[in-house]
Chain A
Amino acid sequence: DIQMTQYPSSVSASVGDRVTITCRASQGISSWLAWYQQKPGKAPKLLIYAASSLQSGVPSRFSGTGSGTDFSLTISSLQPEDFATYYCQQANSFPRTFGQGTKVEIK
């Protein structure tokens, strides 16, 4: 199975900050990586698919890069509504696997 490792596990940031979250796969997954945002008590929301494609309706301050084993999600200017937990997920092979999550907290 492909293991997904996210870091940091948490980050404290202020509104307007640039935040980058990293995800590493235990083996190459081409560009088959998705990013999700989850707020407390809510279902996850798809932000990015195929490593760098922005899901419809998602603000352009979110961007994704990477291929192979190393990926990143960047929020260019953190907004109050962006404080949440973010997960990466590999979609290259079954079983699908998620990273352990990164909590973005208010500084």
Chain B
Amino acid sequence: EVQLLESGGGLVQPGGSLRLSCAASGFSFSSFGMSWVRQAPGKGLEWVSAISGDSGYTYYADSVKGRFTVSRVNSRNTLYLQLSSVRVDDTALYYCTKARTDHSSREGFDYWGQGALVIVSS
């Protein structure tokens, strides 16, 4: 059974940093691209970042480029998102997601974690 378990969320002051983790199990982690998607309270979904299975490619939304860093450690089956210089509008539930197929991230995200809540406030 595929499981994605996020951790590391919490309250952080504007300008601060936080690292989210996503522990994956139930599939060949290194074979699949992974993404982070966030959802501000009461709002829609916003794609944040993606990383290929071998970490060779990373992508970011314009809203987080230069402030967030996605990474993964395949030997630990873990995905990370380092949040830096956070802003109030980064407040959201951050979901870890798995690409549906191992050869393309063009078929959507078939598994989602339960989310990690990040609150940016002074």
Across the interface, do A91 and B107 meet the contact criterion of CB distance under 8 Å? yes
Contact of A94 among B59, B107, B112 (CB under 8 A): B59
In the complex, chain B residues whose CB is within 8 Å of the CB of A44: 37, 45, 95, 109, 112
A34 with B60: in contact, given A87-B44, A95-B47, A96-B50 (CB under 8 Å)? no
Across the interface, do B59 and A34 meet the contact criterion of CB distance under 8 Å? no
B35 at the interface (CB under 8 A from A): yes
Across the interface, do B47 and A46 meet the contact criterion of CB distance under 8 Å? no
A14 at the interface (CB under 8 A from B): no
CA–CA, A43 to B4, complex, Å?
A: 11
Across the interface, do B113 and A94 meet the contact criterion of CB distance under 8 Å? no
A50 at the interface (CB under 8 A from B): yes
Contact of A87 among B45, B61, B62, B110 (CB under 8 A): B45
In the complex, chain A residues whose CB is within 8 Å of the CB of B47: 89, 95-98
Contact of B45 among A46, A55, A89 (CB under 8 A): A89
Interface residues of B in 64-122 (CB under 8 A from A): 95, 100, 105-110, 112-115
The chain A residue sitting closest to B109, CB to CB, is A46
Across the interface, do A95 and B59 meet the contact criterion of CB distance under 8 Å? yes
Sorted nearest first, the 10 A-B pairs with minimum C-beta distance are: A34-B108, A43-B112, A96-B47, A94-B59, A49-B107, A49-B108, A91-B106, A98-B45, A101-B44, A95-B61
Residue ranges of A at the interface with B (Cβ–Cβ < 8 Å): 1, 32, 34, 36, 38, 43-46, 49-50, 53, 55, 87, 89, 91-92, 94-101
